[in-house]
Amino acid sequence: MIGIFDSLGRALAAYLSRPSQSYEPLATTPPGQLRSALQPGDVLLIEGSTRIAVAIKYLTQSTWSHAAFYVGNRLAQGADDPDPPALIEADVLAGVRAVPLSLYEECHTRICRPVGLRPADRDRMIEAAVARIGDTYDLRNVIDLARYLFPTPPVPQRWRRRMIALGSGQPTRAICSTMIAQLFQSVSYPILPDIETRPAPRAGCDNCVREIYHIRHYSLFAPRDFDISPYFEVVKPGLSDGFDYTALVWAQREALQAAGAAAIPAVDADRHAT
């Protein structure tokens, strides 16, 4: 029975991981521009086009269905490697793996950068992520995967995030961005903590309060949490090197200029004829 469920789970995971043929990204970033904007420790969000991505986007009411952790040149084979495995991600079929940026060059992406992350903590996170490469996930619990066969389940919005964390937890860790959440929690860096306020009066301030941060369970994190977190900065590669809107070439303007240039000789010809 174990072998049957394992085969069934792998077949179901392969089906859910199949990309949609009709997917068209809202916007893409040139690979070189994306690479120059990324820094080690950044989180790269991906829109995703698979069946499971559609379900996650619906359940989280977000554009983002996947997240990967950028480790820079930590895994590069040499200085001249043009496309090293620079992202560490958890994949439902392959488990934790390192992939190059080119894998997502035709996808809609977003860079989320942890503000003020200490270099020592960043390095610890990178080493922890690298150490997890090769981890695989038990796909025998097909119930964990079967919930994604219905991409838009008719459940109240307040229950949708719980649906992602439903089940034994093994496939959940591969599907969601829980691996990255664990990395940040390991150095006590906040993502979306529950904040409790308690009275803390002191001399001259009777109404002062103290904020107590409670860590959410890592299985409840979704890719969009890095986007909306107040502790992560959204980095847009097209703006990082400076942006001048007056340098843009608009098709309508070119057409008008071409039409005007073509009309001038005609007017001159008429004037000379008279």
Q: Where are the alpha helices (DSSP H) in 90-223?
A: 119-131, 142-146, 157-165, 170-175, 178-186
Average pLDDT estimate for 50-75? 88
Question: b/e string for 17-44 if b means 16 or more Cβ within 10 A?
Answer: beeeeeeeeeeebebeebbebbebbbbb
Average pLDDT estimate for 54-70? 88
**How far, in Å, CA of 136 to CA of 147, rounded?**
20
When pLDDT is cut at 50, 70 and 90, the band that residue 208 belongs to is: confident
What pLDDT is recorded for position 4?
76
Q: How many CA atoms lie within 13 A of 61 on its CB side?
A: 8
When pLDDT is cut at 50, 70 and 90, the band that residue 127 belongs to is: very high
**How far, in Å, CA of 49 to CA of 72, rounded?**
25
- With vertex at residue 222, the alpha carbon angle to CA 218 and CA 224, rounded to the nearest 5 degrees, is 135
DSSP state of 153: -
- Ranges 135-139, 235-239, 269-273: which has the least confidence: 269-273
pLDDT tens-digit series, residues 241-269: 677 888 888 877 666 667 666 555 544 44
Spacing of C-alpha 140 from chain mean position: 27
pLDDT tens-digit series, residues 132-187: 998 877 676 666 777 777 777 777 776 666 666 655 555 555 556 888 999 999 99
pTM for the predicted model, two decimal places: 0.77
Average pLDDT estimate for 59-88? 89
When pLDDT is cut at 50, 70 and 90, the band that residue 118 belongs to is: very high
> Which sequence spans correspond to the domains of the chain?
2-243
Phi/psi at 203 (nearest 5 deg)?
-60, 125
| Domain covering 2-243: architecture | Alpha-Beta Complex (3.90)
**How far, in Å, CA of 48 to CA of 25, rounded?**
9
Q: Where are the alpha helices (DSSP H) in 213-250?
A: 224-228, 237-240
DSSP state of 37: H
Angle at which helices 51-60 and 157-165 pack, to 10 degrees? 130
pLDDT tens-digit series, residues 212-229: 544 455 566 789 999 999
